[in-house]
Amino acid sequence: MKMFLMIFSLLLAISLLLTGLLYLLRRRFAKTELSPEYLHPSVFNFFTTIYAFFLGFAIVTLWSAYLSAQTNVAREADSILVTFRTSKTLPNSDPLRQALMNYVKSVVADEWPAMGTKDAMSPKTERAWDKVWGTYLRLKPENNMDNGIFLEIGKQLTQASQYRLSR
């Protein structure tokens, strides 16, 4: 967001500077029968068009980034929910589900406010995510029938990690 504001401010400053420069050049060097305050409307039309184009481009870019972030959050939540529900079929998977719940609570309570103020992820939530992975890796399937479920949980956690990093 800060980069957008910097670029937008730079474009606005350049537009205003060029408009003022053209006005001063015309006023100083142009000898016409018209009054010195007269500016041809095509100059303002040109800069208005450019300004509208860049403003529209910025709005579309920001909206696209917002929708992408919103989609990634929903996909991460979906992966965590699938992991939570799938892990119910494995024996001794209560610690994994508890770690997932702690992670989700930490995301809502710590990470989202941190991302809103500092544009950074919360270290507390990072530790909670590491605990989820550690708990998953300590979970051992009891028989070959549980291997598929164990691997599916790992796949869902990998997807959640990717969505977490992309938000």
Q: How many alpha carbons lie under 13 Å from residue 138 in its C-beta half-sphere?
A: 13
What number of other Cβ atoms are within 10 A of residue 96's Cβ? 25
User: Any idea where the domains of the chain sit in the sequence?
Assistant: 69-166
Size (the chain), residues: 167
Residue 34 confidence (pLDDT)? 55
List b or e across 124-149, with b for residues whose CB sees 16 or more CB atoms inside 10 angstroms.
Answer: ebeebbebbbebbeebeeeeeebeeb
Residue 15 confidence (pLDDT)? 87
- Residues 62 and 60: their CA atoms lie apart, in Å, by 6
Describe the crossing of helices 147-166 and 123-138 by its angle, rounded to 10 degrees: 170
H-type alpha helices, 30-146:
41-87, 94-106, 112-118, 123-138
Residue 157 confidence (pLDDT)? 95
pLDDT means over runs of 10, the chain (167 residues):
77 88 80 59 84 91 85 93 93 93 93 78 90 92 86 94 87
CB distance 79 to 157 below 8 Å = yes
Q: What is the pTM of this model?
A: 0.62
Residue 155 confidence (pLDDT)? 95
- Residues 162 and 70: their CA atoms lie apart, in Å, by 14
Residue 161 confidence (pLDDT)? 93
The two tokens of residue 140 are: 């051992």
